[in-house]
C-alpha cells in the first residue's frame, strides 16, 4: 500500500511539473520500474473511469435503434419520398436496403460502445505504455544527438513521469465530461522530463521533445486516411448494391 501511495504522490508531483520530482526520478536506481508502474496504473484508472462514464452515457442516451427508426420513419414521411415512390414502385424496398446498409456502416464507424469501453480497460494501459516507450525512445535519440548526457534508463524514467498529466483524464468517470489541454500539458511535461534528464538548452530540449509527437501524429493521420478510404469504399459499395 505504501508503494502505491508513493507512486500517487510521485504522480501528483509530476502533474504539478515539480522539477525536483523529475530529477529524483532520473537519479533513482528503480526509476524505470517506478515509471512503468506509474504509467500502467494511470492507464488502468483512465480505462476504468472511461468505462464508468460511458456506462452513464449509455443509460442516459436513447437507443441507437430507436434513433435509426425515427430517422427512417421521418424520411418516409417526407413529400419527396412519396413522389419518388409513385414513379418507381421498387424504390421503397431499395431505400430500406440502402438505409440498413448505411446504418451498419455508421454503427461500425461509431465504435464498439460499451464493449469498446470494456476492452479499453485493458488496451488503455497497454497503449499508454507503448506510447511512453515510443516517445521516450525517440526523445532519447534526439536528445543524445543534440548533446544530451542522460542514459536511456534515465530518459525513460523521466518521461514516464510526464504521463502523470493523464491523471486529469479520470474526470471522464462523470458522464459526458471531457478534459481539454492534456496533449499540450503532456508536451510541457515531456519538455520538463527531457530538460531535467539531459540538461539541454531550451531550444534543443524543445526539438527533442517535439519529434516523437510529430512522428506519432503523422502515423495517426496516415492510418485515419486509410480507415476513411475503406469506410468510403464500403459505403459506396452499399449504395451501388442497393441501387442495382
pLDDT band at 114 (very low <50, low <70, confident <90, very high): low
- Provide the mean pLDDT of the chain: 84
* pLDDT at position 236: 66
Q: What is the pLDDT of residue 66?
A: 74
User: What would the pLDDT profile of 60-89 be if each residue is shown by its tens digit?
Assistant: 766 667 777 888 888 888 888 888 888 888
Neighbours of 201 (CB within 10 A): 10
The DSSP call for residue 89 is T
| 210: region left, alpha or beta (phi > 0 left; psi from -120 to 50 alpha) | alpha
Identify the weakest region by mean pLDDT among 1-15, 27-41, 126-140, 145-159: 1-15
- The rounded distance, in Å, linking the Cα atoms of 125 and 89 is 54
Residue 110: the pLDDT is 54
Q: Which comes out higher in pLDDT, residue 151 or 4?
A: 151
Please state, for a pLDDT cut of 70, what percent of the chain lies above it.
87
Average pLDDT over residues 1-13: 81
Question: Domain locations in the chain?
Answer: 2-62+113-243
pLDDT, residue 40, reads 94
CB contact at 8 A, 209 and 187? yes
Please, which pLDDT band fits residue 2 given cuts at 50, 70 and 90? very low
More confident call, 58 vs 211: 211
- Contact between residue 195 and residue 146 where contact means Cβ atoms under 8 Å apart: no
> Quick one: pLDDT at residue 83?
86
Between 118-127, 182-191, 216-225, 232-241, the lowest mean confidence (pLDDT) is in 232-241
Amino acid at each position: 500500500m505504501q508503494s502505491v501511495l508513493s507512486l500517487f504522490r510521485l504522480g501528483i508531483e509530476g502533474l504539478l511539473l515539480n522539477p525536483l520530482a523529475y530529477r529524483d526520478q532520473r537519479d533513482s536506481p528503480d526509476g524505470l520500474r517506478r515509471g512503468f508502474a506509474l504509467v500502467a496504473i494511470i492507464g488502468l484508472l483512465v480505462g476504468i473511469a472511461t468505462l464508468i462514464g460511458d456506462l452513464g452515457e449509455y443509460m442516459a442516451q436513447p437507443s441507437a435503434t430507436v434513433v435509426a427508426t425515427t430517422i427512417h420513419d421521418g424520411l418516409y414521411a417526407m413529400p419527396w419520398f412519396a413522389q419518388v415512390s409513385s414513379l418507381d414502385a421498387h424504390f421503397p424496398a431499395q431505400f430500406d436496403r440502402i438505409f440498413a446498409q448505411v446504418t451498419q456502416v455508421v454503427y461500425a464507424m461509431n465504435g464498439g460502445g460499451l464493449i469498446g469501453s470494456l476492452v479499453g480497460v485493458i488496451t488503455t494501459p497497454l497503449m499508454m505504455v507503448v506510447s511512453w516507450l515510443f516517445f521516450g525512445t525517440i526523445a532519447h535519440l534526439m536528445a543524445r544527438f543534440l548533446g544530451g548526457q542522460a542514459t536511456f534508463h534515465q530518459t525513460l524514467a523521466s518521461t514516464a513521469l510526464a504521463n502523470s498529466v493523464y491523471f486529469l483524464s479520470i474526470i471522464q468517470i462523470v458522464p459526458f465530461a471531457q478534459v481539454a489541454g492534456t496533449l499540450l500539458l503532456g508536451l510541457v511535461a515531456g519538455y520538463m522530463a527531457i530538460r531535467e534528464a539531459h540538461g539541454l538548452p531550451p531550444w534543443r530540449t524543445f526539438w527533442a521533445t517535439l519529434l516523437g509527437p510529430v512522428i506519432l501524429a503523422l502515423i495517426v493521420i496516415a492510418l485515419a486516411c486509410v480507415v476513411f478510404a475503406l469506410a468510403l469504399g464500403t459505403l459506396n459499395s452499399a449504395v451501388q448494391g442497393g441501387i442495382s
